Chain A
Amino acid sequence: MRRRASVWAWVILVLGLLYFFIPLIATFEFSLRAIKGRYTFEAYRLAFMDPAFVRNFGYSLMWCVLTIIVSLALVVPAAYWVHLRLPRLRPVVEFVTLMPFVVPAVVLTFGLIRLYGSPPIVLIGSPVLLIAGYVVLSLPYMYRSVDTGLRAIDVRTLTEAALSLGAGWGTILLRVIFPNLRVALLSGIFLTFAIVMGEFTFASLLSWPAFGPYMEEIGAMRAYTPQALALVSFALTWGSIGIIQWLGRGAPGQGQIAGAR
């Protein structure tokens, strides 16, 4: 039953759209002014032609892939086991996943550097700390996505069916659970992607090349191109999330959350 749309709903929607889109339009209008006197896409052309852009974007993509792999390897078994066997541990696990919200990134990074910068465990020469930092940041979103997905499918029956057919745990996880969590996993993956690509603090303090510090640097040193890039990355992220929505249409249980600072 579709109720007739109330006037108020339209009013609120329009107000919301105005609030969200006018700043984007202002940024877009500015990014078109790279050449004096007329509107042009020069800023966009320059943004993509910069070799540092490709280099840093490539590095960030690599960090994304590594983060996603580690994150999945940590979260999916944990969520699955909590769901299946240890529901009483759920509050503990959820507390862990809420902690990254509570601890500021700056302080966490310095803590990591102090702990793992000197013997006995020296992790500082390798990207381990960076990936660990990214995994920590994306933990809440990945866990929540997987958890939502697990709630929507009947984990117990699937597991028991697989076990009764003689599958080992590896097969169960990889060939039964993962495919059924397709949409939830995609949602977690895309959120992680958005977070890692835009992340600045960890990459900057740990001195690894990444897209976040690159955006920051050109933002400080150039005009027009940083704004163009910001809009492009906004559009790309929006497109990706649109793709998840489209892929997941009709699938049960998709609630995504995200948060920014």
Chain B
Amino acid sequence: MALERPIRTDPLPITQGDAQPARPPRGLSSWKNWIGLVPFFAFAIFFLFLPSFSIVYRSFESPQHTFTFDNIIAIFTERNLVNAYKASLTVSLITAAGGALFGFLLAYAVILGGLPRSLRTFMTTFSGVASNFAGVPLAFAFIATIGNAGLITRWLESAMGFDIHQTGFTIYNIWGLSIVYMYFQFPLMVLIMAPALDGLRREWREACENLGGTAFHYWRFIALPVLLPSLLGTAILLFGNAFGAYATAYAFSGSFINLVTILIGAQIQGDVLYNPGLGNALALGMVMIMGFCMAGYAWLQQRTARWIR
């Protein structure tokens, strides 16, 4: 139910617009407003905030259960750990950029590319599943495709006589892992950009064409500026998603590719290393990076809510 009002700059046109009721709305002071929220916040405090807070204070715990800054210092000084952060950041950047780019193209193709409507439904339902396909099955699927004995590898060898491993190619590095990560990055992009692309009113395109603009003008001056916050926000979400990925990376190459999540797992679980303080410190670093990502995403999403109804 749209209201005939000028587009407001604050992010919630619906509820703000409805704030013209017959009787005055209850203020925040009325305690009855909070009942519905009490269980939610109580749950969040007991089962989310308090345990998460343990990351912070346990970062300062040594294996002998004393207070120490060693863990935090190690993150910045030990080459092993610095490289883990570098590798994680690299993979996240690659998959965020690549995922955003091709994911956007894919979303555009099925939504605005003039393809049959059923393909859009197909793509969105498939994306819903594929964005959750991760861990051991995903790793295996790619190993079975382009690994040493993979389907494509063997086909290339038999049909084209081309042994890709002679060229020194291997999927067990950052680039191979990025290819695997794209499997849930592309769909995530498609799912989130779909509503944004829907929000591109065709009137704008028509108006542009009426004024003599070309497709280039349309994109450069209308569509991209509108979509940019959404694009960037989703790219940041993809970045965070890749940074926090654990199951897939571990199933793919264990700790042989050095990533932050893998190191955390090795310190907190497993048979050999056991320095939960260091694990928590690594997690703290990760939480801060992810925190920035989520904050950026949330801020950009607020800005796009203007255009999406």
A–B contact, 8 Å CB criterion (strictly below):
yes
Q: Report A's interface with B, CB cutoff 8 A.
A: 1-6, 8-10, 12-13, 16, 19-20, 22-27, 29-30, 73-75, 77-78, 80-83, 85-91, 93-96, 98-108, 110-112, 114-115, 132-133, 135-136, 139, 151, 154, 156, 160, 191, 194-195, 198, 200-201, 205, 215-216, 219, 226-227, 230-231, 234, 237-238, 241-242, 245, 255-261
Does the CB pair A9–B12 fall under 8 Å?
A: no
A12, A29, A88: the one within 8 Å of B28 (CB): A88
Chain A residues contacting B108 (CB-CB under 8 Å) are: 9, 12
Name the prevailing secondary structure of the A interface residues.
Answer: helix
Which residues in B have their C-beta under 8 angstroms from that of A87? 12, 15-16
Other 17 A-B pairs with CB < 8 A, given A19-B182, A77-B40, A111-B54: A13-B109, A16-B102, A20-B183, A23-B138, A27-B137, A29-B144, A99-B48, A101-B244, A103-B48, A104-B244, A111-B53, A139-B48, A194-B132, A231-B137, A234-B133, A259-B132, A259-B188
Instruction: Determine if B81 is an interface residue (Cβ-Cβ < 8 Å).
Output: no
* Min distance, Cβ A76 to any Cβ of chain B, angstroms: 9
Shortest CB–CB separation between residue B295 and chain A, in angstroms?
Answer: 9
Query: Which B residues lie within 8 Å of A8 (CB)?
Result: 109, 113
User: Contacts of B132 on A, CB cut-off 8 Å?
Assistant: 194-195, 198, 237, 258-260
Check if A20 sits within 8 Å of B130, measured CB to CB: yes
Q: Are A12 and B106 in contact (CB under 8 A)?
A: yes
How far is A102 from B297 in the complex, measured between Cα atoms in Å?
12
**Is B200 in the interface zone, CB < 8 Å from A?**
no
Find out whether the CB atom of B182 lies under 8 angstroms from the CB atom of A6: no
Whether the Cβ atoms of B15 and A83 lie closer than 8 Å is yes
- Asked if A81 and B186 make an inter-chain contact with CB atoms under 8 angstroms apart, the answer reads no
Q: B8 interface residue, CB < 8 Å from A?
A: no
A209 to B127, CA, bound (A): 29
Q: Count the B residues whose beta carbon is within 8 Å of the partner chain — how many?
A: 100
How many A-B contacts if CB must be within 8 Å? 274
List the B side residues contacting A16 at CB < 8 Å.
102, 106, 109, 123, 186
Q: Are A238 and B18 closer than 8 Å at their CB atoms?
A: no
Is B290 in the interface zone, CB < 8 Å from A?
Answer: yes
Binds A, one of B84-92, B161-169, B220-228, B279-287: B279-287
CA of A88 to CA of B47, assembled, Å:
24
B300 within 8 A of A: no
Distance of A8 Cα from B112 Cα, bound (Å): 12
- Chain B nearest CB, measured from A236 CB (Å): 9
Asked if B258 lies at the interface with its beta carbon under 8 angstroms from chain A, I say: no
Q: In the bound complex, what is the Cα–Cα distance between A8 and B108 (angstroms)?
A: 10
Shortest CB distance A97–B (Å): 9
Give complex CA distance A86, B265 in Å. Answer: 40
A86 to B39, CA, bound (A): 16
Q: Complex: how many Å from CA A127 to CA B150? A: 41
CB-CB < 8 A to A102: which residues of B?
A: 240, 244, 287, 290-291, 294
Write out the residue numbers on chain A whose beta carbons fall within 8 Å of the beta carbon of B192: 255, 257
Q: Which B235-270 residues have C-beta < 8 A from chain A?
A: 237, 240-241, 244-248, 261, 264-265, 268-269
Residue of A nearest to B128 (CB): A241
Chain A residues near B283 (CB-CB < 8 A): 103-104, 106-107
Report yes or no: B240 in contact with A101, Cβ–Cβ below 8 A. Answer: yes
The answer on a CB contact under 8 Å between B131 and A258 is yes
Instruction: Give A160 to B26 CA distance when docked, in angstroms.
Output: 13
A23 to B126, CA, bound (A): 14
B43 to chain A, nearest CB (A): 6
Min Cβ gap B203→A in Å is: 11
* Distance of A110 Cα from B47 Cα, bound (Å): 12
Given A23-B183, A101-B294; A112-B51 close (CB under 8 Å): yes
Cβ of B135 to closest chain A Cβ, rounded Å: 7
Q: Which residue of B lies closest to A249 (CB)?
A: B121
Tell me which residues across on chain B come within 8 A of A9, comparing CB atoms: 108-110, 113-115
Establish whether residues B126 and A20, one from each chain, have CB atoms under 8 Å apart when the complex forms.
yes
Q: Are B144 and A5 in contact (CB under 8 A)?
A: no
Shortest distance in angstroms between B294's beta carbon and chain A's nearest beta carbon?
5
Q: Show 27 A/B contacts (Cβ-Cβ < 8 Å), sorted by A.
A: A3-B112, A3-B114, A9-B113, A13-B110, A26-B150, A78-B36, A85-B26, A93-B37, A94-B298, A98-B297, A104-B264, A106-B264, A107-B283, A111-B51, A132-B47, A136-B48, A191-B128, A194-B129, A198-B135, A200-B135, A216-B136, A226-B137, A227-B140, A230-B140, A245-B125, A256-B124, A261-B247
- A81 touches which of B37, B244, B268 (Cβ 8 Å): B37
Contact, CB under 8 Å: A5 / B115: yes
